């Protein structure tokens, strides 16, 4: 797992309020950093993986930093109500939006999160997606 994904995982896993909203997997809140998610992971869970896009911030002769976009998905059973999944997604957003995460080897300049928005799902599963933008130098 890269340093940014580790920082995201650590910020989410440290929050007891989020932990009580999620299922438990391998003795911890169901926050995953691998996709595809193993079949035995109970819902609801949060998953974030490798960055979607890593754009260098170029100086005259050197890279000064990076703008990185990373998706987070919240997945829950379709129960006929979106109240629970929306609460989880809003908690994830609150933990990351305009927060300074400790990313090994970098200083975080900007962290903003858009969403949650509906993501493709099926009749048994609901999914919301958030996109986080991090500027690291």
> What residue numbers bound the domain in which 59 lies?
3-136
Distance CA 95, CA 126 (A): 21
Q: How many domains does one find in the chain? A: 1
Q: Which of 46-50, 103-107, 113-117 has the highest mean pLDDT?
A: 113-117
Q: Is the dihedral of CA 36, 38, 44, 47 positive or negative?
A: negative
CATH code: domain of residue 119: 3.30.2000.30
Helix axes 83-96 and 3-13, enclosed angle (nearest 10): 120
HEC sequence for 71-110:
EEEEEEECCCCCHHHHHHHHHHHHHHCCCCCCCCCCCEEE
Which residue shows structure tokens 């958030």?
Answer: 130
135 pLDDT higher than 70? yes
Of 70, 57, 79, the closest CA to residue 111 belongs to: 70
* 32 secondary structure, DSSP code: E
Statement: residue 50 has pLDDT above 80? no
12 three-state secondary structure: helix
pTM of the predicted structure, to 2 decimals: 0.90
User: Is it the case that residue 19 has pLDDT exceeding 90?
Assistant: yes
The answer to whether 57 touches 65, Cβ cutoff 8 Å, is yes
Do 67 and 134 contact (CB within 8 A), yes or no? yes
């Amino acid at each position: 797992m890269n340093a940014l994904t580790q920082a995201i995982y650590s910020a989410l896993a440290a929050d007891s309020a989020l932990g009580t909203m999620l299922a438990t997997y391998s003795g911890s809140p169901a926050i995953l950093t691998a996709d595809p998610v193993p079949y035995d992971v109970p819902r609801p869970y949060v998953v974030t993986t490798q960055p979607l896009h890593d754009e260098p911030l170029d100086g005259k002769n050197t890279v000064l930093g990076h703008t990185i976009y990373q998706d987070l998905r919240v997945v829950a059973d379709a129960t006929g109500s979106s109240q629970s999944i929306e609460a989880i997604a809003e908690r994830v957003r609150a933990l990351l939006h305009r927060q300074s995460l400790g990313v090994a080897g970098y200083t975080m300049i900007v962290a903003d999160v858009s969403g949650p928005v509906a993501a493709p799902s099926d009749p048994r599963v609901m999914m919301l997606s958030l996109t986080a933008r991090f500027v690291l130098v």
